[in-house]
């Protein structure tokens, strides 16, 4: 079982040439004679030679490895993101270290350090909650290209690809207003994150633009989860002047909000308008089907990977911020006339 590992020298010896020639063949150089190339190729296959990229990198010091670090792979939004990256990384002939941090910034620091030691050429990071600029500064300063995706880290001069949370939230709110709602809440999400901030500002701007109330009490933050949605909706229902609709931080919160409404005997989509954010897979099949802001995570992942590869290949580069467009997918939970709009979107 334990093969004694064949190297270029073995191949060279077996083919009756020098290791330099074998190296040339490996690189597909045009310098080598056709007959020689064929002979060496045959020997390579015969001996079952496996190229040692580590040894090569040592000399060349530029690897074909990128790092992908994601905060939560069990969330289908981020899984799609990762798959999008995977596609372009693979077809560019690179391979990726990929790690999940479970929103743990310490763990994130460890895996990034480990990837660095292993010689990654660049990193795509969907940062864990609580990631600070200081955490990433050493990496960025070392000159390794870094692309942040989905979430930004304030105070850091690196490239990023994020969705247009402001526009998405505003579009959602405008739609609710159009449906006749006049008092609208924003539910869920931790209010210390950049993503929350952006979506919430979109929410507020759209209200102000329509001359409606946008006071702070309408913004109820909570964990960005189903449970958080339940909690937030409870607090909302306790208000004296109750809203008639809500934009939720993400789809998980929206589902939780629906749960909470039902246990108060309020039917989401009929008695109360609910809109989510992200358009996760379940949004389409839930009851009622969730109106939500669709983000195309796979496309975002692809774009982030393309940006990273571009920066790796360019010796020098500047930080570049990309904002991915979003679109409102109208289904049933907002109480709109059924499905009419989704078809035209």
Partner DNA sequence: CTCGTAATTTAGATCGTTCCAAATTTCAAG
Partner DNA sequence: CTTGAAATTTGGAACGATCTAAATTACGAG
- Contact with its own copies (CB under 8 A) among 88, 147, 286, 312: 286
Report yes or no: 99 and 69 within 8 Å, Cβ to Cβ. yes
Contact code string over 16-45 relative to DNA, x by CB under 7 A: -xxxxx-xx-xx---xxxxxx---------
Which spans in the chain are helix H? 8-15, 19-26, 34-47, 53-60, 76-91, 105-117, 133-141, 165-178, 194-209, 226-237, 251-263, 281-285, 297-313, 340-344
Smallest gap from residue 72 Cβ to its own copies (A): 9
Rounded distance between C-alpha atoms, residue 107 and residue 338, angstroms: 45
254 belongs to the binding site for its own copies (CB under 8 A): no
Read off the tokens for 18.
């020098």
- What is the end-to-end Cα distance of the chain in Å, rounded? 59
Using the minimum distance from each CB to its own copies, give the nearer residue, 62 or 242: 62
Smallest gap from residue 26 Cβ to its own copies (A): 11
- The whole-angstrom distance between residue 326's C-alpha and the CA centroid of its chain comes to 14
Read off the tokens for 54.
């580590």
Smallest gap from residue 1 Cβ to DNA (A): 17
Rounded distance between C-alpha atoms, residue 251 and residue 164, angstroms: 16
Interface with DNA (CB under 7 A), residue total 27
60 belongs to the binding site for its own copies (CB under 8 A): no
Rounded distance between C-alpha atoms, residue 96 and residue 80, angstroms: 16
Q: Which partner, DNA, its own copies, none, binds residue 281 by CB below 5 to 8 Å per kind?
A: its own copies
Tell me which residue of 244, 188, 181 sits closest to 207, measured CA to CA.
181
319 belongs to the binding site for its own copies (CB under 8 A): no
- Contact with DNA (CB under 7 A) among 42, 52, 242, 264: 52
| Contact partners, residue 243, CB within 8 Å, separation at least 6 | 181, 183, 184, 185, 218, 236
Whose tokens are 């939780």? That residue is 256
Q: Which partner, its own copies, DNA, none, binds residue 8 by CB below 5 to 8 Å per kind?
A: DNA
Interface with its own copies (CB under 8 A), residue total 55
86 belongs to the binding site for its own copies (CB under 8 A): yes
Whose tokens are 């990229």? That residue is 53
Kindly indicate which of the ranges 4-12, 209-217, 299-307, 332-340 contains the residues binding DNA, using the contact rule CB under 7 A: 4-12
Smallest gap from residue 15 Cβ to DNA (A): 9
Whose tokens are 């969330």? That residue is 75
Using the minimum distance from each CB to DNA, give the nearer residue, 45 or 265: 45
16 belongs to the binding site for its own copies (CB under 8 A): no
Report yes or no: 148 and 160 within 8 Å, Cβ to Cβ. yes
Smallest gap from residue 2 Cβ to DNA (A): 13
141 belongs to the binding site for its own copies (CB under 8 A): yes
Write out the residues near DNA by the rule CB under 7 A. Answer: 5, 7-9, 17-21, 23-24, 26-27, 31-36, 51-52, 55-56, 58-61
Write out the residues near its own copies by the rule CB under 8 A. Answer: 1-3, 5, 48, 50-55, 57-58, 61, 63, 65, 68, 73-74, 76, 79-80, 82-83, 86-87, 90, 93, 95-100, 102, 107, 110-111, 114-119, 138, 141-143, 255, 281-282, 285-287, 316
């Amino acid at each position: 079982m334990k093969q004694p590992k064949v190297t270029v020298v073995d191949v060279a010896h077996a083919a009756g040439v020098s290791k330099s020639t074998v190296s040339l063949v490996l690189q597909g150089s045009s310098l080598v004679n056709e007959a020689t190339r064929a002979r060496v190729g045959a020997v390579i296959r015969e001996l079952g030679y496996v190229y040692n990229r580590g040894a090569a990198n040592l000399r060349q010091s530029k690897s074909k490895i990128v790092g992908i670090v994601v905060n939560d792979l069990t969330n289908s939004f981020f899984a799609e993101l990762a798959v999008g990256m995977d596609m372009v990384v693979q077809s560019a002939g690179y391979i990726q270290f990929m790690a999940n941090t479970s929103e743990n910034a310490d763990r994130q620091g460890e895996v990034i350090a480990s990837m660095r030691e292993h010689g990654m050429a660049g990193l795509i990071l969907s940062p864990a909650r609580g990631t600070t600029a200081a955490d990433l500064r050493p990496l960025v300063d070392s000159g390794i290209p870094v692309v942040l995706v989905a979430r930004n880290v304030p105070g850091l001069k690196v490239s990023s690809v994020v969705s247009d949370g402001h526009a998405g939230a505003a579009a959602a709110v405008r739609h609710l207003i159009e449906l006749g709602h006049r008092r609208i809440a924003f539910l869920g999400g931790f209010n210390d994150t950049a993503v929350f901030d952006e979506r919430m500002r979109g929410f507020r701007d759209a209200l102000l633009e329509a001359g409606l109330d946008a006071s702070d009490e309408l913004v109820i933050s909570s964990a960005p989860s189903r449970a958080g949605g339940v909690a937030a909706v409870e607090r909302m229902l306790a208000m004296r002047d109750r809203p008639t609709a809500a934009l939720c931080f993400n789809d998980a919160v929206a589902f939780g909000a629906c749960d909470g409404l039902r246990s108060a005997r309020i039917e989401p989509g009929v008695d109360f308008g609910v809109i989510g954010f992200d358009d996760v897979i379940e949004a389409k099949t839930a009851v009622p089907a969730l109106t939500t802001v669709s983000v195309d995570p796979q496309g975002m992942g692809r774009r982030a990977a393309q940006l990273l590869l571009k920066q790796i290949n360019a010796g020098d580069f500047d930080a570049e911020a990309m904002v991915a467009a979003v679109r409102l997918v109208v289904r049933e939970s907002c109480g709109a006339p059924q499905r009419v709009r989704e078809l035209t979107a």
